Structure 1
């Protein structure tokens, strides 16, 4: 059974994602699809609009066969570690033959050419990247600039053709992760159609970015009807069910009170111990709190944002503080160790067959509950669920412990 792996968030799953699933299966001639999906806190540092079990159901109904959870240790990370954790999870299954990701060009050969040149992580690249970061550039911009300069110095100025584009950068890091892991998975890319990754405007009758759709939802006060042209009916059905239960849509403002409590109560020196609180940001946080006019996370982010500190970087920082993630838990050495387990969130009948195969092929234990092991990153995922549940309007106390009690979604 040939299998293609996808790295996803589905926040929420829309028609563009459906196209990605279908085309990934087609161009790789895969019989089955494994998705490794971020849990409750995502790559840009945002809480998911619906919980991970609801989004797992969206994925299974859209054509995925097996959904695995990307640990929050990796999911709320810059591109380098987000990609590494996701590729490590797919590789660890032992059943994934290919990886297929979306990019602005769809040209995996051009990205592979760059990855081959950068995989060695030369001292020149590290030094130039560090210098650009000190100049105040955000990491994605600094990395793209350093890569372009390095390749130009080697006489290959055209190689880094589109690294300023977010999906090109992420795709490059998928390819670098494959090389670091020595993974046999073949890499493929599909060109993003009609809507960019961060595009907030809706310019097509059927395709819009997840960013634009979340904006549509929240600007409508949580109403979901506006999503109908842009998402599969199965996605709408799941979201409407979750909304009726008071569990969606969820955004940053749902966590404003506990977040501001932490930011106000913790001394600056203690804030500095949390992951992503770098270069004196703890003092910037304390100063911004004195300027607030409302208890809104959006206002805090606006006060904190600079050319150096992007909204994404700041959201990841706030997520780490909210979740209690200390720097020593997320060191480069620990993250480089890869996944410690494979967490199953849901599966179809074909996915069940994959799980049977994985019992023999997986490089790490395959688990279906937080009760199945005591790995530090699994405990972090369980705590993230407890925090997320507290932000849902109608959550019950029992929802905080769903990682221990909720079985995988079965379709």
Structure 2
């Protein structure tokens, strides 16, 4: 049967996500959906509002049939490696034949044209990118401008191409490049993102709001009822349960004491060995501590942020500090080797049938928990460690909540 793959975070699952699931099935004619979902920490280097099991439950209630976890080694990376890990995971299932992603342009042909020319990163493109980075541009801005400049040099007018400063267009481009790089036969589709942009904080529609706007409503102290128009009833029910249990909401501020403690007792040499710690950023981190106006996360970020260092870049670096991710663990060579397991977070009855098919066709071992994994899986320990740290932000954590990866079976819809 035709199966569509989705690459998601669902932080939290809202009506726009529901529309994307429904349109993905409609566009592809799929009989089942597989969602590759980030775990407890997300692509922009921030903790999820709710843990991965609650968000997997939301996904199943919203129409996904099988939810598998994108390992944290890829889930918190810039677009290139995030996309490579997620697409490799969909390919490894052996059952996914289509991929449908949201984009601001809805222009699959335009994105495919760029992907065809940039998939192998031609030397002229790398030269343009280096030049823009040396001018002090952030990496996302430099990448988008270098791509447009290179396409122009190939005789393709900028106005005929999708805007790569738009985050979903950029992710879509990297999904297409990842498909090319691994030689996948998965067929891509895109759904036009409408009514709410990825980062849009104001709400301009009676039913659709971005996850950013929804989280902002919740952070402002509004009751859960305030987001009711913008999320399915199942999401609201799960949110209320997690709130009542003290397992949510989680934010960066939840980890401020642990983060500041780690920075306070770290040497520059120790920080320099962490993933993402480039250009002497370890000295800027330590130098910011005496200048904090408050011992909280936003004060730290304000002391660090510059035109060159975006919020996302700094969040990823601080996440490496919090989780102890060493640069040697996350080199391009190791990431390029691809995922080495398929970790199942939840499934429906249709998903259970997919799992039976995957046991025959998958290219990687299928894990229903992290208990007794094959010893050759290099990144599973990072997932378990991330879950243990994440649980410390919840009410009265204990050994069981810290190591739910070993104890909790997949969610069944």
| TM-score under structure 2 length normalisation | 0.98
Give SS of 2:101's match.
strand
Residue 184, structure 1, aligned to residue 185, structure 2: yes
Give SS of 1:228's match.
helix
Q: Map 1:363-374; keep pairs closer than 5 Å.
A: 363-371=363-371, 372-374=373-375
Residue 275, structure 1, aligned to residue 295, structure 2: no
1:263 aligns to what? 263
Q: How far apart are residue 130 of structure 1 and its match?
A: 1.8
2:331 aligns to what? 331
Q: Map 1:5-404; keep pairs closer than 5 Å.
A: 5-158=5-158, 159-220=160-221, 223-371=223-371, 372-374=373-375, 375-404=377-406
Q: How far apart are residue 59 of structure 1 and its match?
A: 0.2
Deviation track 1:15-70 (CA, whole Å, cap 9, x = no partner) reads: 00000000000110000000000000000111000000000000000000000000
Q: How far apart are residue 293 of structure 1 and its match?
A: 1.9
Separation of aligned partners in 2, 1:173 and 1:164: 13
Contact 1:149 1:157 in 2 (8 A): no
Give SS of 1:288's match.
helix
Give SS of 1:6's match.
strand
Deviation track 1:359-379 (CA, whole Å, cap 9, x = no partner) reads: 111111111111223322111
Separation of aligned partners in 2, 1:225 and 1:319: 31
Q: After the TM superposition, list the runs of 4 or more consecutive aligned residues in structure 1 that deviate by more than 6 angstroms.
A: none
Give SS of 2:394's match.
coil
| Structure 1: gaps spanning 5 or more residues | none
Deviation track 1:121-148 (CA, whole Å, cap 9, x = no partner) reads: 1111112212212221111111111111
Q: How far apart are residue 405 of structure 1 and its match?
A: 0.6
Contact 1:247 1:395 in 2 (8 A): no
Contact 1:68 1:342 in 2 (8 A): yes
Deviation track 1:383-402 (CA, whole Å, cap 9, x = no partner) reads: 00000001112333311111
Q: How far apart are residue 340 of structure 1 and its match?
A: 0.5
Q: How far apart are residue 157 of structure 1 and its match?
A: 2.6
Separation of aligned partners in 2, 1:342 and 1:376: 13
Separation of aligned partners in 2, 1:88 and 1:121: 19
Contact 1:43 1:78 in 2 (8 A): yes
Give SS of 2:13's match.
coil
| Structure 2: gaps spanning 5 or more residues | none
Moved more, 156-165 or 278-287: 156-165
Separation of aligned partners in 2, 1:368 and 1:129: 42
Separation of aligned partners in 2, 1:261 and 1:157: 51
Separation of aligned partners in 2, 1:393 and 1:127: 50
2:407 aligns to what? 405
Contact 2:105 2:162 in 1 (8 A): no
Contact 1:246 1:395 in 2 (8 A): no
Q: How far apart are residue 3 of structure 1 and its match?
A: 0.2
Contact 1:92 1:363 in 2 (8 A): yes
Q: How far apart are residue 270 of structure 1 and its match?
A: 0.8
Separation of aligned partners in 1, 2:259 and 2:370: 25
Deviation track 1:246-291 (CA, whole Å, cap 9, x = no partner) reads: 0001000110110000011100111111111111111111111111
Give SS of 1:391's match.
coil
Moved more, 247-256 or 112-121: 112-121
Give SS of 2:230's match.
coil
Contact 2:107 2:162 in 1 (8 A): no
Separation of aligned partners in 2, 1:262 and 1:339: 29
Give SS of 1:370's match.
coil
